[in-house]
Chains A and B, each alone.
Chain A
Amino acid sequence: MTEPDTVDATLRALLADVLGLGEERAAALTEDSGLFGALPEFDSMAVATVLTEMEDRLGILIDDDEIDGEIFETYGNLLAFSLRKVTD
């Protein structure tokens, strides 16, 4: 599960599941696509669900102090954070 492509695919599927994006919108996400604050579905409960699902599906543990607003600003930031966590 440490391949970048796998992490990217896992993350897109996860956001599709939590935000109800559908496969097309999830596939169309780019590095610059805004998440928290940009997608109306992305509220604080969705943030919490995404974090727990990231832990389950990527096999990582995320500490409180690793999470700041920036991680959820764009898809690129979330992907970069995930890739860093799986290679830790």
Chain B
Amino acid sequence: MAISTPEHVLRITPTGPPRGTILFVPPLFEEANRTHRTLVLAMRALAAEGFTTLLPDLPGQNESLVPLEQVDLASWQSALAETSTAIGGPLIIASLRGGALIDHQAKAAAWWRLAPVGGASLVRTLMRARVAADREAGVTSSLDSLQAEAATAPLLLAGNRLSPTMIAQLATAEAQPVTPLRTVALGSGADDIAGTPLWLRAEPGEDTAMAKAIAADIAAWSTTCGIN
């Protein structure tokens, strides 16, 4: 589905001419809110290092006027591809979690992914939240009954009304190969970033040190890829 509504883009720019642009692809659904503040802190740090940084709203999310149930992973992929082609100069795509499922159609000089997650795991958690909320409300539902329901009609999962197409695409979605790509996880190894998995957090938090580590890792990857 082609979606032409222009979406809001958060843009933080350097004071001088930019070295390049970092286009952040946020985590999906509630995980985007939980990581937003830390992500924006990383954007500020990258802007201080001379990068233009962008964080677009996905259609159907945040300030978007598009109803969420009208979008799916394919439309998010093309929206990001469209955003990327409008950017001049060297571009790095930086995706977090489920963002890695929709970043591969973009045109970029390099990709960077933090803790990519499969779509099946995301949809399982959303459905479980619905089952738990139903149970509190005295309604009996199960992953099976929700899956059956999702085959034919939009399903409300933790505040997100998702179309049958979206749920079907999420169920099998994996991060796709792109080059050059650097994938980092949380941890203490060479290809890890120290920090907390804020995307799991029940209440939004902030991790200043992790924001700095994200910015430093992306800046170093940019240099490795010849973007100075």
Seen from chain A, the residues whose Cβ lies within 8 Å of a Cβ on chain B are 17-20, 41-49, 51-53, 56, 64-65, 69
Contacts and interface: CB of A to CB of B under 8 A. Distances in A.
Contacts of B135: 44, 69
A71 B205 CA distance: 27
B200 A53 contact: yes
Contacts of A44: 129, 132-133, 135-136
Given A52-B128, A64-B143, A17 B30 contact: no
DSSP class of A's interface residues: helix, strand, loop or mixed? helix
A49 B132 contact: no
Interface stretch (B49-57, B80-88, B119-127, B219-227): B119-127
B208 interface: no
A69 B136 CA distance: 10
Contacts, number: 57
Interface in B157-215: 158, 196-197, 200-203, 205
Interface string B128-154: 110111011000001110000000000
Nearest to B128: A48
How large, as a class, is the contact surface on chain B?
20 to 34
Contact of B201 (A18, A42, A51, A69): A18
B48 to A, nearest CB: 28
B205 A47 contact: no
6 contacts: A42-B202, A44-B129, A45-B129, A45-B158, A48-B132, A49-B129
Contacts of A51: 125, 128
B144 A45 contact: no
A41 B202 CA distance: 6
B124 A52 contact: yes
B129 A47 contact: yes
A64 B197 contact: no
B30 A45 contact: yes
- Give the interface centre of B127, B128, B131, B133 by most chain A CB atoms within 10 Å: B128
B132 A47 contact: yes
B128 A18 contact: no
A25 to B, nearest CB: 14
A65 B131 CA distance: 11
B136 A19 contact: no
Nearest to B144: A64
A63 B191 CA distance: 34
A52 B125 contact: yes
Contacts of A17: 196-197, 200-201
A53 B129 CA distance: 13
Given A44-B136, A49-B125, A64-B142, A20 B202 contact: yes
A32 to B, nearest CB: 22
Nearest to B142: A64
A49 B131 contact: no
- Give the interface centre of A18, A48, A53 by most chain B CB atoms within 10 Å: A48
Given A48-B131, A49-B125, A64-B131, 12 more contacts: A17-B196, A17-B201, A41-B202, A44-B135, A45-B158, A46-B202, A49-B200, A52-B121, A52-B128, A53-B200, A64-B142, A69-B135
